[in-house]
Structure formats: C-alpha cells, structure tokens
Amino acid sequence: MTGPRRWVCGVVAVAAVCAGLAASPWRAAEAVGALPLVLYLPGSALVAAVDPWATRARGLDRVFWSGSASIGAAVLGGFLLNAAGGLRRGSWLLLLVSLVVGGSAVGWLRGARRRDRGPAEIPRRRRRPMSPGTGLLLAGAAALVAGALGLSVIASIRLNQEHFVQLWLLPRPRAAGAYAGSVRVGTRNDEGRTVVLDLRVQTAGATLLRRRRLRLRSGQTWSVVVRRPGRLAVTATVSLASRPSRVLLLTRLAAPFP
C-alpha cells in the first residue's frame, strides 16, 4: 500500500470516529467530533484528491490548505443546505462525511504506484516554516468557525425552546366562581417574538369584548375586566390577526346551575 493510500485510509477511519461522536446525544462528545470534521478532515481528503503525492504542497502549507478547504467546504455546504431547506445536524454531518469519502476515494485511485514514476522519484522540497501571514489567516479561519459553531449552538437552544400563547378567563371575584358578575380575561405572549392577536369575549347572545390587532411583545401580558350580564356562560377566544378565522385558544366559564 502506497503512502497516499495509507493516508486516505487513516482520514476515513478518523472521520468515521468523529461522525459517531458528533451524532451522539452528549454535547461534549458532539463538539469533539464536530471540530475535526469542520476544521480539517474534509479539506484533507480534498487536498489528497488533488495532490496525493504532495508534489505541490507539503508540511505546514499542506495543513493550511487542508484547513482552508475544509472550512470553505463546510460553510458552502451549510449555505446550500440552508437554501434547500435541509440544514439539520444530520444532513450537515452527512455532507461532511460524504466529502471525506469522496475525496478519499479519488485520492486512493490517484495514489496508486505508477511504473513510470514512483514515489522515490518525486523531488523533495525543502521544508519552510509557516509564514506569519499564513498563520494569521489560519487562526482567523479557526476563530470564524468557532464563532459559527457557538452561534449555531445558541440558535439550536433558542429553537428548541417552547413557543406558545396563553389565554385565561377568571371570575371576579374568584370566590364567587360561576356566580361572579364579571370576568377577567387575559393573554400572554411567549412566542419569542412580537405577535398581533385578535381577542373576543362573548356570550350566547352577544359579544362582550372584541379587541382587534392586539400587539404584544415577547413576554408581554394584557388583561381586562369585562362585565358578565345575567351570569351567562362566557367564552373567550384568541387568534392571529393575520388569520382571524383560525382559533388558537379557547377558554370558557360555564353558567351556574339553576
């Protein structure tokens, strides 16, 4: 087995381990597995596909191009998945692993020993230390990806939070229960964004309150006391102002028994 083939086999093996860690439910293992898949492994496979015998780039230059190609592929792939509506952890992970496998397959084929030119005949270049500009670019790229990963974690936490609207209808005074002569109706917005609602309070024969386009910020509460004629059953409903016919919530205060 030639050197390039041993390299791509090692890249695929490490990528498989990292993919298993990234797919785990534990946050620490997910971060440990995701960082190599974003920062190095796909780019290393792509560089191995383009230059399997390290004739154009070697040493720190090869590390730099592997990291740059990996970061670029991860960002571009994320944009494409987002445009297609499929940007999820599983789809992004599948994309990165596919890049590793595809690049490694090409590197495997191009890394076969050739009769006309073996690895010993390839001229060896003198190793040079990484230039300060290259180091700054690599550090900036790593910081950019780390920030993107942090933002994705924050966005995932916000996305997984519950979003809802509350509605209540309480007798006034509460001790009177179904015999109360008035009711307090209220609503609270916990959607995480500003919403515009339509609220209605009605009895069997009339509308007691109709509040159109009630704008509530996230976490804001609105309530009002409404007179209850004849101790009739009272129903409160709330819907989005953009779709008033679709009731989001309904609550009811029953009439007292005769």
Q: What angle do the packed helices 27-39 and 132-160 form, to 10 degrees? A: 140
CATH superfamily of domain region 164-253: Immunoglobulins (2.60.40.10)
pLDDT tens for the 258 residues of the chain, in order: 788 889 989 999 999 999 888 888 888 888 888 888 888 999 899 888 888 888 877 788 888 888 888 888 888 887 787 777 677 778 888 888 999 999 999 988 888 865 444 444 444 555 555 556 556 656 666 666 666 666 655 655 555 556 789 999 999 888 888 889 999 999 999 888 899 999 999 998 789 999 999 999 989 999 999 999 888 899 999 999 988 888 989 999 998 876
Please state the domain extents for the chain: 3-113+131-160, 164-253
Q: What is the pLDDT of residue 120?
A: 45
Residue 200 near residue 159, CB atoms below 8 Å: no
Q: What is the pTM of this model?
A: 0.48
Reading phi first (left if > 0) and then psi (alpha if -120 to 50, else beta), residue 230 is in left
What distance in Å separates the CA atoms of residue 33 and residue 148, rounded to the nearest whole number?
A: 16
